[in-house]
A and B are shown apart, each in its own frame.
Chain A
Amino acid sequence: MASFNLTVNGEAKTVETTADVPLLWALRDILGMTGTKFGCGIAQCGACTVHLDGKAVRSCVLPIGAIGGRRITTIEGVAASAAGARIQKAWLDLEVVQCGYCQSGQIMSAAALLTATPAPTDQDIDAAMSGNVCRCGTYIRIRDAIKAAAAS
């Protein structure tokens, strides 16, 4: 057991655990932040996507011991960034969501895309979003909402 000092959505958090625990489970089971979702456990579906210093990463394969001082942003805190707030608004304006389980991860990937690429092309969207599976099939609206957020 060791002590890990994390910065999650701007707040200092301390987690007592072993270094191999993926950030996903530290967030969900230890810190009780359940907005970040478990989908596959092998970085194939993107449901667990969070930001590390603003970049999208899959938290299910990121050991807590590998994070160091990098800032973590989760779905609960993504509204604090301009891109995150615009993505969330576009998601509701275009009624993207169905069951919603993958959408935390979709929004985190989209917000990171918009921050890095303010006017993404279809190819940019494919590259940034093809790691996120949606079983309900909301992809058409995800693409439209990213474009709407970029234009807003």
Chain B
Amino acid sequence: MMAPIDARERAQSSTNRREFLGASLATVGCLLLSVRMPAAGAAGEANIRFVPDAFIRIDHSGKVTLIMPQTEMGQGIYTAVAAILAEELDAAFDQIALEAAPPNDKLYANPLLGFQATGGSTSVRAFWMPLRRTAATARQLLVQAAAKQLKVDPSTLSTSNGMVMHSSSGRQVSYGSLVQVAQSLTPPKEAPLKDPKNFVLIGKPLKRFDTPDKVNGKVVYGIDAMPPGLKFAMLAASPVFGGKVKHVDDSKTLSMPGVRQVVVLGDLVAVVADHTWAAKQGLAALKITWDEGNNGQVSSDDIWRKIRASSLKDGAVAKNEGDVVAALKKGELHQAVYELPFLAHASMEPMNCTVHISASGCEIWVGSQVVSRAQGIAMKLTGLPADKVVVHNHLIGGGFGRRLDIDGIEKSVRIAQKVDGPVKVTWSREEDMQQDFYRPVYLDRLSASVLDGRIQGWKHRTTGSSILARWAPPAFQKGVDGDGIDGAVDNPYGLADFHVEYLQDEPFAVPTGFWRGVGPNNNVFAVESFMDELAKKSNIDPVKFRLAHLDKSPRFKTALEMAVQNSNWGSALPAGTGRGVCVSPGFGSCAAAVVEARVDQDGKVHVQRVVMAVDTGIVVNPDTIVAQLQGGIIFGLTAALYGRIDIEKGRVKQSNFHDYRMMRINEIPKIEIFIIPSGEAPGGIGEVGTTIAPPALANAIFAATGVRLRSLPIDQSLLAGKRSA
């Protein structure tokens, strides 16, 4: 059994690069292998470069250690990557150990994102082939070493469970005992990869090894870091986005028990205390006058007026095939507009960061999806070099895209610069919800013509904030945000006359960021709602209408057929109950789902059942696929039912779980997941459930009530008294 990861140990191991290399090189006699990562931003295989320092380490005991660039936030990536490595190396699963990689974009960039980042459901997709190739090379080296030691031909040897076997003589040697010899050999240029039909770990449900410490209180998230001498802080940033501190009256606060210090910076105020409660009470007792700047009157209505007007303009062309203008004139023309709200992440672990700035440098304890950026912002603020800024990256108590931004680390370092000794800055839930980087509002305009049940022309314009323009400016090219059109350009319906535009429209005041499901969230909602509308106008069953357009997309067709077959599609339902369907591209997976929902006389929606089928390529850990889809579906349904962030007077109106509701256990539908066997490369899975659930639910509500919902969250008042017989 694999040893559970001790997050404290992990944090210790992820220190700065010099320490890290020193420790590794001190382990004399290990077999060290570089992992072949494609260069940042490289397109395909041609640009693969060899990185000499990122490595897998095999020691004399046979323990295999991978320096792990990706962050574990509950998605099971540690276990999946360990399985891939063990599989191709033919090591026993319990021989594999992972160490969190230190911040270093040169060595540990995510090949699909270009730097050290965990997001976009990319981890398995990005590391699948580099890891397999490196592990295969290692296995080959060990076989050669065994051949030398046993004085036999390498072709007479086989490997399994960390042993090399010579079956004709019955002799076998362990990987650990071969390390010394293997070190002296030249690695083969090309080691053969295992035939997937011989996989023994990949495709089997594996126990996660980050979970045992998560059921006994031992796991240490960033918020649990407790360096000696720690003080505790809470902060208040300007409630109006972009506002500044004008004046602070701290006379009452400084006399409160446990309060140590009030830190006033340009845009925020923090109270430092002996414990978090004292900091919270001290913060509440401050009289802060804010200079609201220019945003003090901004409301959601202003933001919607702006984006609606903006969306009428032409956008930048993201994809154009055939002659869409001519095609839109054939048959009956349909048009629709879909609107999606701002959303907060509300991860269960509120934003937090612990920082200690001392004469010897800056030390940070945090859970981040972008550890090299975490280090970078601290270097920028303190002026310290990389080897003086140590980042302990912890397991994450919910990422969902929130921890792809480093605003929390930036604020905490600035506060820590004013504090003597280590300080843990914890966001109250209210601060967390009101100082987020929000899933932007989106507006999707769709036009299509239909003739004899076939779509002729299709035009889709997505208008919204460009997150990439802020987060990765080089990726925002020619006015097209590649994330913003994801799920629109890869429309699976084989449309010959097809046109997609992107139009950047930044909302007043509100910062925007990645949110689970990213670009496909709005695009799949728009496309799949519109497909239902087109089917209805054509008097064709929504499933039949989709199937008629999927001949060129066999993986989607199979997924749709499987979801439908298992959902009792077409069978009678009680009044007020309906089924809705959705086909979802994105993340390299092909998925379809059927949602069954009941609508009360008062308009309340009860989601009863979700049947989902997915072809996500080769599956590494099927239990994780099911878990991610169950959770992703609930995340998407929660947004569809309840999710909205409103802006009033430049501030976020919602503040905590009472007015930004989550689905709870009593509301959860039956969820059935069907994984389609596939030999394709692995797809991403963490976000697919989130994108697929809302449109399927909206379509089910239409079937139940005849009411077409073109915006989210679901407006119960539109549904009251609308149950169809």
Q: List residues of chain A with CB under 8 Å of any chain B CB.
A: 1, 17-18, 20-22, 25-26, 28-30, 32-42, 44-45, 47, 74-76, 79, 88, 91-92, 95, 97-104, 107, 125-126, 129-143
Please measure, in the bound complex, the distance between the C-alpha atom of A140 and the C-alpha atom of B349, giving whole angstroms: 21
Would A97 and B211 be within 8 Å (CB), given that A74-B217, A132-B665 are in contact? yes
Question: Is B197 an interface position by the 8 A CB rule?
Answer: no
- Closest chain-A Cβ to B365's Cβ sits at a distance in Å of 12
Would A135 and B276 be within 8 Å (CB), given that A76-B217, A97-B215, A101-B397 are in contact? no
- Closest chain-B Cβ to A83's Cβ sits at a distance in Å of 14
CB pair A103–B215 under 8 Å, yes or no, is yes
Would A135 and B346 be within 8 Å (CB), given that A17-B258, A126-B665 are in contact? yes
CB pair A130–B666 under 8 Å, yes or no, is yes
**Sample of 18 more A-B contacts, CB < 8 Å, known A102-B348, A132-B665:** A21-B275, A21-B277, A29-B275, A35-B217, A47-B348, A75-B217, A76-B218, A98-B75, A98-B631, A99-B397, A99-B399, A100-B219, A130-B664, A130-B665, A130-B666, A135-B398, A135-B662, A141-B627
Residues of A within 8 A of B426 (CB): 38
Residues of A within 8 A of B400 (CB): 135
Which of B108-116, B221-229, B708-716 participates in binding chain A?
B221-229
Report the 9 A-B pairs with minimum CB-CB distance, sorted nearest first. Answer: A35-B217, A101-B397, A137-B634, A99-B74, A100-B214, A98-B74, A137-B631, A29-B275, A75-B217
Please measure, in the bound complex, the distance between the C-alpha atom of A92 and the C-alpha atom of B603, giving whole angstroms: 39
Interface of B is mostly: loop
Considering only CB atoms, which chain A residue lies closest to B428 in the complex? A41
Contact with A along B270-308 (1 / 0, CB 8 A): 000011111011000000000000000000000000000
CB pair B668–A39 under 8 Å, yes or no, is no
Question: Is B633 an interface position by the 8 A CB rule?
Answer: yes
Would A25 and B656 be within 8 Å (CB), given that A95-B211, A136-B74 are in contact? no
CB pair A45–B211 under 8 Å, yes or no, is no
CB pairs A–B below 8 angstroms (29 shown)? A1-B257, A21-B277, A21-B278, A25-B276, A25-B277, A26-B275, A34-B223, A35-B218, A42-B429, A44-B657, A76-B216, A92-B211, A92-B215, A97-B211, A98-B76, A99-B348, A99-B349, A99-B398, A100-B214, A100-B219, A101-B221, A101-B348, A129-B666, A130-B666, A131-B664, A134-B348, A139-B634, A139-B664, A141-B630
Please measure, in the bound complex, the distance between the C-alpha atom of A98 and the C-alpha atom of B347, giving whole angstroms: 12
Please measure, in the bound complex, the distance between the C-alpha atom of A30 and the C-alpha atom of B631, giving whole angstroms: 34
Residues of A within 8 A of B348 (CB): 37, 39, 45, 47, 99, 101-102, 133-136
Please measure, in the bound complex, the distance between the C-alpha atom of A137 and the C-alpha atom of B223, giving whole angstroms: 21
Residues of B within 8 A of A74 (CB): 217
- Closest chain-A Cβ to B345's Cβ sits at a distance in Å of 8
CB pair B623–A95 under 8 Å, yes or no, is yes
Q: List residues of chain B with CB under 8 Å of any chain A CB.
A: 73-76, 207-208, 210-212, 214-221, 223-224, 226, 232, 257-258, 274-278, 280-281, 346-350, 395-400, 426, 428-429, 623, 627, 630-635, 638, 656-658, 662-666, 668, 671
Residues of A within 8 A of B216 (CB): 35, 75-76, 79, 88
CB pair A97–B74 under 8 Å, yes or no, is yes
Please measure, in the bound complex, the distance between the C-alpha atom of A24 and the C-alpha atom of B499, giving whole angstroms: 55
Please measure, in the bound complex, the distance between the C-alpha atom of A132 and the C-alpha atom of B632, giving whole angstroms: 18
Please measure, in the bound complex, the distance between the C-alpha atom of A91 and the C-alpha atom of B216, giving whole angstroms: 11
CB pair A143–B212 under 8 Å, yes or no, is no
Would A100 and B275 be within 8 Å (CB), given that A44-B656, A130-B664, A140-B668 are in contact? no
Which residue in A20, A98, A101, A129 is a CB contact (below 8 Å) of B665?
A: A129
Residues of B within 8 A of A45 (CB): 348, 429, 657, 662
CB pair B211–A100 under 8 Å, yes or no, is yes
CB pair B664–A137 under 8 Å, yes or no, is no
CB pair A95–B217 under 8 Å, yes or no, is no
Would A100 and B627 be within 8 Å (CB), given that A22-B277, A126-B666, A137-B632 are in contact? no
